[in-house]
Structure 1
C-alpha cells in the first residue's frame, strides 16, 4: 500500500508517539477507550513514556525511481528530527504544564465563530437589535453569507434546545432585514439572494430563507468565459466564489512533494492599478474588519470544498511570567520592549538567528544536525540568567547549538506559533483539492494570526529561505528544511491521542507539505486580498451613511427642542411686557434681550443703535468686537457695526478649512507632507502617475537635514474617504485610486512600526 497516495481525504488530528511497537489494527482495539476519553480535552506536549528506540517503519510501496528515493530520504529527515525532539524533551526534565485544549460543545463552536467574526449581536441578549450588523452583512458575497447563515441557524437551534430565556431570533428574520434595507435603497442597485433550508431534510422552496447580497462593483463576480491562468492568483474575487466556479475543473489532488522547487508552481500576483495591500499597511480599525472578513472567507472556502474547519480554544492555565523559554510571546515582547521600544519579534529569537548566520549559512546540514544535548541544556540555563543582563557570551555558542536552541524556543512556546485556534486549520490545508486553494487558505490563515505570532513566523520563514538560498553548499533544499521544521511547528503542538503508524506517516507527510507551502509562497502570504479591502471600503461607506443619518436625526431633535424652548421663553416674556412695549432678542450679543417702548418716531436703526451702544460699553475695556486693541476709538461707528455683523456671521457659520476652500482644479490632488520642507504640493493626475512619482517629486525638493531621507523611509498614504488609512505601494496608479476613493486625503509620512 502506498501511504502517500492513501493519505488523501484523511483528516489528521493528532500525533502522539508511543514506546510500544503497534500494528495498525491494534490501535483500534487497545487505544479506542483512551481515544474516547481524550476526545474532549487534549494536551499540547510530547508523550514522555516513549522509549528511546527508533521505531521500525511499516513498509510502503516504492516505485524504484530516483524521485521516490529522494522522497524517502527526505522523510528520514522528518523521523530523525522527531527522535531528536524526543531526546531533547527528556533531557530538559522540566515539569512544564501542558496547555489544555477544550473541544467546544454543540453550538459553542458556532457561537464562538460568530463572536470572532464580529457578529455576536446576531444572537443572545443583543439579538433584539441586529441593525449594527446590517452594514456588515450587506458587503458579504453569496458564499460568505451562506457561511454566516449556517452558523446562525446552528446557534439559534442550540439555544432553543437549552431553553434560553432571552429572545432567539430566527435566522430568516435577521437576513430579511438586510433584504428589506436593500429594497429600500435609493440607488436602485440590483441584489441577488441565496437560500438555505431551515430543515435540510425538506427541499421545498417555501422553507427557504433569502440572504440579500449586493452585486456591486466593489465585489466583482467571476466572469464565466474568462480563462484564468493556472499560476495567477486572483485577489479581486472571493476565493470561495472562485472555488464554486472552478470546483468541477480542479479535481486533481496535490501531487507528492519532490526534492526540488519545481514540484510547486510559481504562483504570481497580477499587478493591480490601485496598488497591492500588505499586512501592516492598514489602520488598526480597518485591520480588525479585515480579520473578521478573513475568518468568514476562510470558513466559506472550507465549506465549499467540503473540508471541516474546527477552531479550538486553549483553557487558561498558569504560565511563566518571565524568562525566555516556555514564556508566551506577548509576555516576551513586553519584556523586550522595556529594553528596546518598538520590538515586534522576541530579542532572543533575533539573537539566535543572528548567531546562526554569523557561523555562515553554507554549513552542511544546518538545522538538520542537532547540537549536543547537555550543551543545549546548559546554554538554556545560562541564557535564562544572563540574557537580559547583557552578560551572555554569544561567541561561545556553536552554530548547530544555536539552531537547536532556535527550534527548542519554538517547541516550548506555551501555545503553538500557528496558534491554538488555527493549528488544525493549518493542518487541514493539505486536504484542499488544488495547490492554488491551499495557497489561498494559507493567505487567510496568516491574516488571522495574532500580531506577535505573525511577525515571528515571518522572521522565521525569511530566515529559512536564506538557508535554502545556499542549498548547493549546505545540502538543505526547501523539502529538507520543511521536513526538519514541520515537527517543531506542528507535531509538538497536536492533540495527545495515540496514533497508528500509518496515521503518523500521513501526519508527517501532511504537515511537511504545509511547511513547504509556507516557505515557498511566503512572499504572497502577507498580502491582503483586494476583494477584502473593497469589502472594508464598502463597510466604511455604509457606516458613514449610518452616522450621517444619526447626526441628521440628532440635529433635527436639537432644532425642535430649541424652537420649543424659544416659544416657551417668548410666551413668558410676552406676559411681562406691558402694552406698547416690544422685546427685542439678540442672542449673539452681550445684551441678549431688551424691552423697547414703541413711539411714533422709533426706527429699526434706533433699535440697533441701542444694542450697539451696550455692546461697545461691554467690549471696549478689553477688546472690541472687530478685534482691535483697547483705546482704538478712531474707529467709525459704521465699521463697528460691520464688525458686529461679521462677528454674527462667523458665529452662525463656522470657519471652513482652508484646504477645502483651496481652488483645486478637476484632475488635481493636493498632497500633504507635514514633516518635509515642502509641506504641500498640487499634483496633476495622469494615466501613468504612480505613488513613487509623487514621492520622487517631494524628495527632489528636500534640502538640509531632510535631504538625507531615503525613498524607503517615507511613504504616500491614502487617508479618509472610504478607508481609515492605507500605505500605498510604489506601483499604485494615482488616478485609478483617486477614482476609487475621491474623498481621500494624500499624506506623505513615515510608516508606523
Structure 2
C-alpha cells in the first residue's frame, strides 16, 4: 500500500519522497525529482525562497536533504531495484544528495544559457496513426524503408536474407502492425508481408488470418528470408538455419543453440557471481529463446554489500575481438541496423515491448558550442582535423580536468563561479571555432561545470532515454547483470557513430576520475548519479514515480558502462558475421540483372567472343587472375609505408596477425625510424565480404582467409581515436 508522501517544498514540482510497504513487511523508500530540461524560473514572489534555498552554498536545502538521507540509512529500507545493506547506506545518502545538487545546479545554469533550442513543429496524430508511424520509423531506422516505399533496394534485400529466426520474427511483428494500421487508415496499398517472408499459401482445410498481411507469430518459423527478386517481389531463397550463427561465417550443424548455453535456465545461469564468461559468437536473442525453462524468471540473490558488479571475461574467438572503430563506416552502419533489430528481438524474447515514444523533436543551433548537435560540431572540427571522432571542445574539457582536477575533492559536485562560467560559455561560442579562446585562464572547476552543461544542452540526449522503460522492465524481472549487459551492449552498438564515439571517450575520462577516488571522493556511484540527469534527459512529461525510476535506471546504466568499459565497445562477432553475409548477398543481387539487360549482355558477349581485342579479357577476370597467382593458403601482404612493401606469407592454423607484423618487423628493423613505423602498424582485411577490418593481433589469419578468400591484406597505421 502507499503511505502519505513527504514533500520537500510547497509545490508539486519539488522533490518528493514516498514510502511503499511491500508484502514482506519491508518499506521501500523512493524519491522523485524531475530531471527534464530545466525551464527558467517564474518571476512570481513565491519562487524566491526556493531559488535561494537551492543554491549549492545555501544552508537551508542541504540539512533538509540530510534529514531525508538519514531515513535511507534505516535497515528496513531498501531500493525498489536492488537490495541495500548497512554498509551501502552512506553511499546511498551521498549519492542522493549529489543528485539533488545536480538538479538544482542544472536549473541555475539554464538561466545562463544563451538561447533555448527551438522545438520542431509537431503535427497532431491520433493513437492508431501514431502507432503506425512509430513502426514505420522503426523499419526506416533498421534500414528496411524499402518495405514501406516498395522500392527494390539491394541493401534491404541483403539485410533480410541474413536475419536470424528471432530477428525475422521481430521485423514481421513490426511490419504486421504497420500494415494493419495503414489499411485501417485507408492509406496507399502496402505490400503483403508474405511477399517479403515468402509464406506459402495455406491448404484449404487450414484456418488462416482474415488479414492477409498479418502473420501468426505462433506459427512454426522454418521459412525465413533468404531473398532474391522474383516477379517484382521478394520471396524465399533459403531457410534460416536452426543452428547458431558463429563468427566464422558458418553454422555449426553439430551444436544447436540450446547447447550453446548450459542446460540450466538462462536467467538462473546468469545470476551474478564473482567472475563470469561472456560469448559474442551467438545471437543474444537466440540464446534466450532456445534456453530451456526460459519462462522461469527466478529472482537473483545479487546484493550490494560490497557494491561490486561481477567481473566478465569475454571469450576471444579465433577471429579475435573487434572495436567499433576497427570497421569501415559503411559496415558500422549495417552493424547499427542489425543491433537495433537484435535489441528489439532480445526484448521480445522476454516479452518486453521495446517501443519508443514519439518525443518532441528539438532543432539545435547551427553554430557555437552549447546546444549544437554532435554531428554539426564534428563537421566543423574535421575541417581542422579530418580524423577527429570526438568534438574538440569536449577533448579540451577533458584535458583541463586531467591537468589539475583529477585529485580535486568533489570535482563534479562543485558548481564553480557562476559569473565566470557564463563568461566562458559566451566566449567559447564566439571564439572556439576561430581558435581564439584562451584556455589557460580556465580552471578545472569551470571546465567540469561546462562539461556537464555541454551534454545537458544537446538537442537530443546522448543516450536514448526512450529505451529506458524497456530496460526497467528487464530489471524488474530480476537484476541479472549479464542480461542487462547484453541489452546495454546492443543499445551501444545501435548508437549513431558520433554518440558512440563520444560516449566511449566520456567513460574513459570518468574512469580516470574514479581511479583517484581516494583523493577526489568521486566514486562510480557519485559519478553515475551526478551524470544521469545530464546524459539521459527527456522533455516528455512523466508521473512522479516514473521520473524516479527513470533516474535510478539511468544511473545504473552509467554504472554498467563505467564498469564494463573495456568490453562494452567490442562488436559482437555474430553481428560481424551477419555483415559479411549482407555484403555477399548484396554482391550477388547486383549480379542478377533484369531479363532485358541479361539479353543485351548476352549479345554483347557473343559479339565479343569473335573479337580478338576482347577475347583475352573475357577469358580471365582480374579477380580470377589475382587468385590464381597466389597458391591456396598463401596471402600477399602489402605494406606501402614500409621499406619492405610486399611479402607472400604461407598460412597455417596458428598464424596470427601479430606473427605477420613480426615478420615485417624483422624485414624493416634496419633503422630507428622504421622501428617506430612498424610499432604503430596494424594488419587490415580489406574488400571481399567486408569493407575494412582492423584485425586483432591475436586473430588467426587462416580462419579469416577461409571466411573471406577475396580479401586483400594491408599493413598500415591505425587511426587515433
Match of 2:108? Answer: 87
What is the aligned counterpart of 2:320 among 257, 275, 282? 275
Match of 2:165? Answer: 142
Match of 1:161? Answer: 184
Structure 1 pair 21–510 and aligned structure 2 pair: CA distance change class (3 A): closer
Higher relative contact order (CA 8 A, sep 6+): 1
What is the aligned counterpart of 2:539 among 495, 519, 527? 495
Match of 1:694? Answer: 660
Q: Bigger shift: 226-235 or 507-516?
A: 226-235
SS at match of 1:285: helix
1:386-444 Cα deviation digits (max 9, x unpaired): 33444433232222221111111111112221257757667777556421121112111
Confirm or deny that 1:110 pairs with 2:141: no
Q: Bigger shift: 394-403 or 467-476?
A: 394-403
SS at match of 1:387: helix
Structure 1 pair 427–86 and aligned structure 2 pair: CA distance change class (3 A): farther
Match of 1:729? Answer: 696
Confirm or deny that 1:392 pairs with 2:430: no
Distance in 1, matches of 2:217 and 2:525, equals: 51
Match of 2:241? Answer: 214
What is the aligned counterpart of 2:298 among 243, 251, 256? 251
Which TM-score applies when normalising by structure 1? 0.74
Does the 8 Å contact 1:198/1:208 carry over to 2? no
What is the correspondence of 1:669-688 to structure 2 with a 5 Å cutoff?
669-688=635-654
Structure 1 pair 549–136 and aligned structure 2 pair: CA distance change class (3 A): same
Does the 8 Å contact 2:297/2:477 carry over to 1? no
Q: Bigger shift: 740-749 or 362-371?
A: 740-749
Does the 8 Å contact 1:307/1:432 carry over to 2? no
Match of 2:520? Answer: 474
Aligned residues: 624
Task: Give unmatched runs, 5+ long, in structure 2.
Answer: 4-10, 20-34, 54-60, 77-85, 202-207, 225-238, 271-275
Confirm or deny that 1:546 pairs with 2:581: no
Match of 2:580? Answer: 537
1:70-128 Cα deviation digits (max 9, x unpaired): 323222222222222222223447444357888970211111111111222223443xx
What is the aligned counterpart of 2:340 among 295, 298, 322? 295
Distance in 2, matches of 1:208 and 1:688, equals: 39
What's the C-alpha RMSD, in Å, of the aligned pairs? 3.9
Shift of 1:132: 6.7
Match of 2:197? Answer: 175
Q: Bigger shift: 210-219 or 527-536?
A: 210-219
What is the correspondence of 1:497-646 to structure 2 with a 5 Å cutoff?
497=541, 499-500=543-544, 502-550=545-593, 554=597, 556-560=599-603, 588=611
1:478-513 Cα deviation digits (max 9, x unpaired): 1111111112112xx21342532x444333322111
Distance in 2, matches of 1:176 and 1:203, equals: 14
Confirm or deny that 1:750 pairs with 2:717: yes
SS at match of 1:349: helix
What is the aligned counterpart of 1:376 among 421, 429, 437? 421
SS at match of 2:691: strand
Confirm or deny that 1:461 pairs with 2:504: no
Structure 1 pair 432–394 and aligned structure 2 pair: CA distance change class (3 A): farther
Which TM-score applies when normalising by structure 2? 0.77
Shift of 1:710: 3.9
Distance in 2, matches of 1:267 and 1:215, equals: 28
What is the aligned counterpart of 2:496 among 431, 443, 450? 450
Shift of 1:150: 0.4
Match of 2:7? Answer: none
Task: Give unmatched runs, 5+ long, in structure 1.
Answer: 4-16, 26-41, 181-194, 567-585, 589-644
1:533-573 Cα deviation digits (max 9, x unpaired): 1111222222333334439984554334776x99xxxxxxx
What is the aligned counterpart of 1:354 among 399, 402, 407? 399
Structure 1 pair 365–713 and aligned structure 2 pair: CA distance change class (3 A): same
Distance in 2, matches of 1:511 and 1:238, equals: 25
Structure 1 pair 664–157 and aligned structure 2 pair: CA distance change class (3 A): same
Structure 1 pair 201–174 and aligned structure 2 pair: CA distance change class (3 A): closer
What is the aligned counterpart of 1:660 among 602, 609, 626? 626
Distance in 2, matches of 1:197 and 1:306, equals: 25
1:700-740 Cα deviation digits (max 9, x unpaired): 21246861444552211112332222110101011222222
1:562-618 Cα deviation digits (max 9, x unpaired): 76x99xxxxxxxxxxxxxxxxxxx975xxxxxxxxxxxxxxxxxxxxxxxxxxxxxx
